[in-house]
């Protein structure tokens, strides 16, 4: 290349960068600051100039150019993304008293009578996403999925104009942010106008339209939809300290060029939350986006960590839902559905009615106590709403419209699916079928639970396949899954040779598991993942647990008399013992020490908190290994904490440990305690 050519290339590179920076600045001012400096026509002219310039110099094009937002070919499907930090759901509050009760729980756990500082923000009615930026560049975007695993929608998210491809200013080495993709009210109206003009089917509501648009296999289709995003949370951060409050986090996000909701703000105490809720509710119809409530978050990050989590929701946040829309319809029938645990749930079959953006034809009545309390009968005219804008429920009955021939609902004495006796424990609201695996409804639900990713993790087994296997008489209990061969599977509808072979491979791979997973997979009533882990830790082997009486099982931490009786009854059943024996005979196995504390050691019985990042080790791997060595893993540091394992970029948990005088160890010491090889 001649000197002249080198000079021309340098000038082209400079001009290209100038145009990109101008466009990125205007994007920031338009989408984040809502304060554009130029007209739409001027912005379009800049973008057109960059496209023309890149056409002349294609060697200067890279994936982060504003012209490359739609650059991917249609995908055959979405790859799975395992979230580095789980995307948790929120508990709901439907009235003022529930918000005050939440605030009372927060203050009790923090041991303070002082009003708590909260951050309040609209609960957008869209689709949750997580975006990962590395050195300020967008690398990955995924949907929430089940909270642990989502779908890779990077190509589609890149098409959203309010998503920066490159962050501004000094940014962390790694930043994982959480946000909500939505369609504005105006954008939704325009979409439907365009669809009507084309003669296409219109969309029912903005949320469904946003979810469907983001999950298009062709990014060009996504780009044609008016998707927007507001960011509201932090997944992970490396190379910088996390902001001390949620309010400061939102400010930091805006500084990096990430759009946040302008209606979010700090409030104080429960009454501050409720005042914000009422004020926003009064403006709800005027807002440019749809919301279904308000989210309150404890503002101080240190207090969030101290409060920790319960199940799959944080203790430091709650969603306060607006009252749902109601509609009037008629009850055609009341029948009973049977779930995995045998619970009979009364369900009202309704004359279809449009409410809250969807057509509702069924509404759960929860249990017979609820049926009696609301006095719902076949033939009644009822008011229906979508609880939390999701689950249809009957609010009340129009008693003055009740026909003379209305029919009260009665709890069946025998299961509507298998005919087994229906039992209802004294003082319990829920009635249950006694059929177990002998009940077709329970059989399918139990098999699905057994195959679930958090149980035996049998990839490729879903509702439709289980329906086929059970209906064809191939499988009725979990152990029979492992007797299936490829030829049997190939006979099923939509199951070709490759799919059958893949499922056989998945079944074989699932045989190697852990005792906690195995116990959870058995679907014993009231035995969740945490209880299964406690049982495995305490007994150390399946044989010991099977031989234990109720009094012994009750000695397990967090296991009371009810759960102990459930376990004793399960392992006393001849059918259940045959199933367990059949699974082991089929080759299901585990290392008795995997996930268990089987020997005394320096970590036995100690409460450990893990904070920061560790080379080549995920948080879940570390916590699993700690449990193997008999430690109890906690999410927050307190006076009861015995040890804190601090990796790189450890934050407020480390500071809290130092303040309380809790012993702190670094990564190498942790590896030595766990018997792991030294890190790089």
**Which active-site residues does the annotation give?**
123
Which ranges of 199-312 would DSSP assign to H, the alpha helix? Answer: 206-214, 219-223, 246-255, 269-282, 301-307
Residues 6 or more apart in contact with residue 248 via CB below 8 angstroms? none
Distance of CA 428 to the CA centre of its chain: 30
Do the beta carbons of residue 598 and residue 592 sit within 8 Å?
Answer: yes
Residue 378: its H or E element = strand 377-378
Three-state secondary structure call for residue 461 = coil
Whole-angstrom distance, CA of residue 526 vs CA of residue 308: 23
Which residue is listed with tokens 């585990």?
590
Do the beta carbons of residue 368 and residue 339 sit within 8 Å?
Answer: no
Whole-angstrom distance, CA of residue 431 vs CA of residue 94: 27
Rg (CA), the chain: 28
Whole-angstrom distance, CA of residue 677 vs CA of residue 554: 38
Whole-angstrom distance, CA of residue 582 vs CA of residue 477: 9
Handedness of CA 135, 139, 144, 146 (dihedral sign): negative
Do the beta carbons of residue 622 and residue 670 sit within 8 Å?
Answer: yes
* Strand extents, DSSP E, 125-246: 127-134, 137-143, 149-151, 174-183, 227-238
Q: What is the 3-state secondary structure (H, E, C) of 273-331?
A: HHHHHHHHHHCHHHCCCCEEEEEEEECEHHHHHHHCEECCEECCEEEEECCCCEEEEEE
Do the beta carbons of residue 74 and residue 217 sit within 8 Å?
Answer: yes
* Max Cα-Cα span within the chain: 98
The structure tokens listed for 404 are 């003379």
Beta-strand relationship, 117-124 and 227-238: unpaired
């Amino acid at each position: 290349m001649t000197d002249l050519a080198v000079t021309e290339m340098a000038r082209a590179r400079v001009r290209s960068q100038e145009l990109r920076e101008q466009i990125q600045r205007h994007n920031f001012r338009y989408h984040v600051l809502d304060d554009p400096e130029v007209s739409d026509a001027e912005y379009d002219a800049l973008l057109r100039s960059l496209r023309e310039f890149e056409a002349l110099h294609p060697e200067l094009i890279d994936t982060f150019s504003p012209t490359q937002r739609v650059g991917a070919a249609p995908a055959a499907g979405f790859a799975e993304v395992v979230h580095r930090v789980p995307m948790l759901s929120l508990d709901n509050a439907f009235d003022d008293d529930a918000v005050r009760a939440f605030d009372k729980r927060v203050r009790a756990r923090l041991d303070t009578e002082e009003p708590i500082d909260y951050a309040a923000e609209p609960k957008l009615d869209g689709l949750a996403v997580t975006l990962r930026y590395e050195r300020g560049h967008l690398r990955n975007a995924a949907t929430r999925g089940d909270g642990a695993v989502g779908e890779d929608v990077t190509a589609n998210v890149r098409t959203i104009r309010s998503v920066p491809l490159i962050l501004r200013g000094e940014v962390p080495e790694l930043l994982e942010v959480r946000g909500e993709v939505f369609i504005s009210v105006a954008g939704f109206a325009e979409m439907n106008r365009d669809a009507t003009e084309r003669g296409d089917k219109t969309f029912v509501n903005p949320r469904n339209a946003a979810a469907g648009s983001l999950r298009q296999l062709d990014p060009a289709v996504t780009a044609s939809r008016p998707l927007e995003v507001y960011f509201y949370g932090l997944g992970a951060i490396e190379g910088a300290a996390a902001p001390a409050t949620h309010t400061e986090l939102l400010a930091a996000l805006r500084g990096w060029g990430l759009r946040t909701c302008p209606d979010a703000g700090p409030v104080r105490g429960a009454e501050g939350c409720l005042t914000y809720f009422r004020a926003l509710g009064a403006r709800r119809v005027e807002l440019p986006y749809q919301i279904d409530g308000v989210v309150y978050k404890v503002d101080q990050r240190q207090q969030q960590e101290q409060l920790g989590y319960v199940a799959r929701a944080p203790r430091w946040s709650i969603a306060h839902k607006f009252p749902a829309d109601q509609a009037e319809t008629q009850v055609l029938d009341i029948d009973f559905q049977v779930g995995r645990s045998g619970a009979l749930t009364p369900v009202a079959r309704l004359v279809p009615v449009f409410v809250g953006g969807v057509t509702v034809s069924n509404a759960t009545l929860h249990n017979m106590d609820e049926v009696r309390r609301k006095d719902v009968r076949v033939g009644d005219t009822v008011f229906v709403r979508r609880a939390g804008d999701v689950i249809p429920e009957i609010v009340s009955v129009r008693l003055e419209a009740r026909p003379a021939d209305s029919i009260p609902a009665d709890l069946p004495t025998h299961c509507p699916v298998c005919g087994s006796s229906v039992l209802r424990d004294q003082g319990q609201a829920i009635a249950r079928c006694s059929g177990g695996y002998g009940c077709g409804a329970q059989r399918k639900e139990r098999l699905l639970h057994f195959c679930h990713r958090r149980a035996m993790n049998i990839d490729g087994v879903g509702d439709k396949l289980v329906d086929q296997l059970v209906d064809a008489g191939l499988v009725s209990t979990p152990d029979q899954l492992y007797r299936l061969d490829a030829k049997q599977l190939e006979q099923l509808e939509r199951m070709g040779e490759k799919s059958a072979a893949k499922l056989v491979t998945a079944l074989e791979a699932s045989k190697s598991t852990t005792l906690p997973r195995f116990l959870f997979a058995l679907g014993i009533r009231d035995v969740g993942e945490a209880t299964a882990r406690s049982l495995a830790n305490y007994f150390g082997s399946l044989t010991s647990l099977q031989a234990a009486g109720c009094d012994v099982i009750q000695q397990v931490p967090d296991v009371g008399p009810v759960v102990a009786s459930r376990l004793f009854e399960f392992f006393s059943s001849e059918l259940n013992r045959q199933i367990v024996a059949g699974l082991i005979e089929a080759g299901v196995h585990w290392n008795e020490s995997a996930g268990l504390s089987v020997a005394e050691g320096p970590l036995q019985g100690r409460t450990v908190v893990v904070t920061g990042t560790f080379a080549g080790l995920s948080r879940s791997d570390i916590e699993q290994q700690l449990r193997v060595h008999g430690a109890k893993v906690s999410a927050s540091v307190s006076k009861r904490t015995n040890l804190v394992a601090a990796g790189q970029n450890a934050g407020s948990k480390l500071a809290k440990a130092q303040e309380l005088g809790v012993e702190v160890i670094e990564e190498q010491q942790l590896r030595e305690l766990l018997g792991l090889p030294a890190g790089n």
